[in-house]
Amino acid sequence: MLGKAAKEALQLRQNWLGPGHYLLAVLAEPSVPTEVMAELGVTHERVAGQVAQKSTVNGRRIRYVESKGVTTNPRAHDVSGWANGFAAATGRLKPSREDWLLAALYEGGGTVGSVLHGLGTSPNAVVDAMRRRGATTPDFYPDEYRPWQGRREIEVDKAEWQDVVESLSEKHPPGSNLRWGFNSRRDRPGKIQFAAENGVDLDTIVEETRARRSTSKRTKTR
């Protein structure tokens, strides 16, 4: 499944592998999951359209860098872990397509939730549909997807990113109401892209971080 998901990523001209690509790999061939998803109006083509939108930043497409492979992000590793866990729980040596679908729903990062939200459904609806088909699922539902409340993005040098993360973590720690995140970009070596919801003053936080770094450097040279 890893190879199939990587193929889906490269077909979309994306250099990273995430939960959405695993979902595409599941939907690429006929199976119970494809039937369940089709009943909810979710097809491979429609999911591909949603995942393709991840290639844009501030409305502009990220430049594709030709590559023979892809880099798996942490969420992709989580999907793999969930899938193997589901398989082991039912005595299978290898995850089935049902396991991979459930894993993409339960990994908790919100990627697949975002995709399904864009298609007018939800992870909970998919779980209910799988249960009606007799599939074994956890007794609890996946984390509820909450759309971001606005989005502001800013790019910083790689040398700055740790300081920016520390500032953001101090002002908006994990679990707070406002969300933020960051990622590297292969098309922009040495740069880190930060994104945050409305209410997180990303510009001021970066400016303050740079000011502290500048002051610290001057102090060290005295």
- Does residue 175 come out as left (phi exceeding 0), alpha (psi in the -120 to 50 range) or beta? left
- Given this model, what pLDDT does residue 144 score? 87
- Given this model, what pLDDT does residue 186 score? 67
What the chain holds in terms of domains, given with CATH numbers, is: 2-132 (1.10.1780.10), 152-221 (no CATH)
Rounded to two decimals, what is the model's pTM?
0.78
In the predicted model, residues of the chain with pLDDT beneath 70 are 54-68, 186, 220-222
Supply the DSSP string of 40-57, one letter for each residue: TT--HHHHHHHHHGGGEE
pLDDT tens for 63-79 read 545 666 778 888 999 99
- Given this model, what pLDDT does residue 68 score? 64
pLDDT tens for 124-143 read 999 999 999 999 999 999 99
- Given this model, what pLDDT does residue 215 score? 82
- 29, burial (CB in 10 Å: exposed 0-12, middle 13-18, buried 19+): exposed
